[in-house]
Amino acid sequence: MTNKNMSLHQDSGGLLNNAKTAEMQVQPTSETISPEPVHESLEFFYGGGAAFINIMVTFPLNKVLFRQQLHGIGVERAFAQLQREGPAMIFRGVLPPLLQKTTSTALMFGLYDQYSKMIRHQFPSIPVSSAKMLAAVFSGTSEAILVPFERVQTVLQDNRQKHYRNTIHVFKDLYSKYGIKELYRGLTPILLRNGPSNAVFFGFRHELKDLLPEAQTQTGNILNDFVSGAVLGASISTVWYPINVVKTRMMVKVGGEYLSFRQTFWNIYYERGKRLYSLFYGVHLNFSRALISWGIINASYELLKQTFTPR
């Protein structure tokens, strides 16, 4: 083989080796990108899983609270009502909140994560705290699409609506008789509740945990997540409690005249003797329920995230 041919052979071999080397270097890049969408979708799973755990634990307590909100009665009378109706009634109506809360909490955490990334990408100069607040308000507002689930849950929990057999029966009856608007009765108080309360929750969740003594063990870390979520969630739930009272009154009505949030508020106010504190009937039980619920949700979310996030 001549020197010229040898040179050409070496050059071609070098090009092939360089191509193979470049191909080997390019392949890992696609592999490192692929886990990101999976990680983002898992945020919805963490939120939904945390809500599922919470609903199964706290539903009976929530039912007592509902009776207090609706009838303005004490905890003893609410418990007595459920005792008279029997054990089978305790979990009557659990499917709508299970579907609604699991889905809404999945959206709450998942969309918050998505909106946060979107806002930081589109407006890189915006302060982190402002981005968090905006993302939280957007995620809370987006949750309002699930109002029909909360509407059906409210109707099923009302002991005056015993002719409804189950969730599907309520959906069909409300839609066929009154249209889609009837399923969204009570939308206004939910919008007033979800966006602002989400902003407070996501704005102070980690800050509140940082105020607690640093955990030295896994159990201690779970406990800190529970305490921070419990205190923050219970405080938010107490401040927004009168809005939930109005929401319950609006949603429990089937058919008839549609009363606005303001009209419903004043009706309750006058019915209860023009006493503002009467709008807080059941708030102590609501505080206890929220303390447990948001403690479970926050701790479960963090535990699921730690367990299932790809390493």
Residue 257: is its pLDDT beyond 60? yes
Sign of CA dihedral 100, 102, 108, 110: negative
Q: What is the pLDDT of residues 3-31, one digit of tens each?
A: 445 444 444 455 445 444 444 444 443 33
- Nearest C-alpha neighbor of 229 from the set 134, 301, 136, 155: 301
Q: Of 62-71, 227-236, 278-287, where does the model show the most confidence? A: 227-236
Q: What is the pLDDT of residue 162?
A: 79
The Cα 297–Cα 51 span in angstroms is 6
The Cα 13–Cα 20 span in angstroms is 11
Q: What is the pLDDT of residue 40?
A: 63
- CB neighbours of 203 closer than 8 A, spacing ≥ 6? 129, 132, 133, 136
Residue 74: is its pLDDT beyond 60? yes
Q: Which two tokens stand for residue 296?
A: 């479970």
Q: CB–CB of 181/275 below 8 Å?
A: no
Q: Which two tokens stand for residue 220?
A: 């201690």
The Cα 127–Cα 124 span in angstroms is 8
